[in-house]
Amino acid sequence: MTASHTRTLRQAGLVLVFAVSLSGLCSTQSFAFSAEAQQMCTGDAFRLCSPEIPNIAKITACMVKHRSDLSAGCRTVMDRDLARQSSKVAAQ
C-alpha cells in the first residue's frame, strides 16, 4: 500500500470514529449535538480537536474551548444546540 492510500484509510477511520462518537453524544441526556451540528462541525473537530477523538467529553470540551476558532456555521449550530440543551436542563 502506498503512503497516500494509508493516509486516506487513516482519515476515513478517523471520520468514522468521530461520527460514531458524536452519534453517541447525541444519545446521552447530558448533552446532545444535532445532526446538523455533526455535519457542520466535523471539519472543525478534526482541525481543532483531533487528539481528543474518540473521547466524547473531551471533544465537547475542546470544541467549547475553541469556540472563537470554529467556522461560522459550526459556531451557530453549536450555540443553538447548547442553548436548547440548557433550556431542557433548566426545565427539569
Report whether 66 contacts 49 (CB < 8 A): yes
Which tens digit of pLDDT belongs to each residue from 25-76?
444 444 456 788 888 899 999 999 999 988 888 888 898 899 999 999 999 9
The boundaries of the domain holding residue 57 are 3-91
Nearest CA-CA partner of 60 in 88, 89, 25:
25
- Give the other-Cβ count within 10 Å of 31's Cβ: 16
Q: What share of the chain is helix, strand, coil (3-state, %, to 5)?
A: 80, 0, 20
CA distance linking residue 25 with residue 91, whole number of Å: 20
- Confidence (pTM): 0.58
How many distinct structural domains can be found in the chain?
A: 1
| DSSP label at residue 1 | -
What are the two backbone dihedrals, phi and then psi, of residue 32, each rounded to the nearest 5 degrees?
A: -145, 125
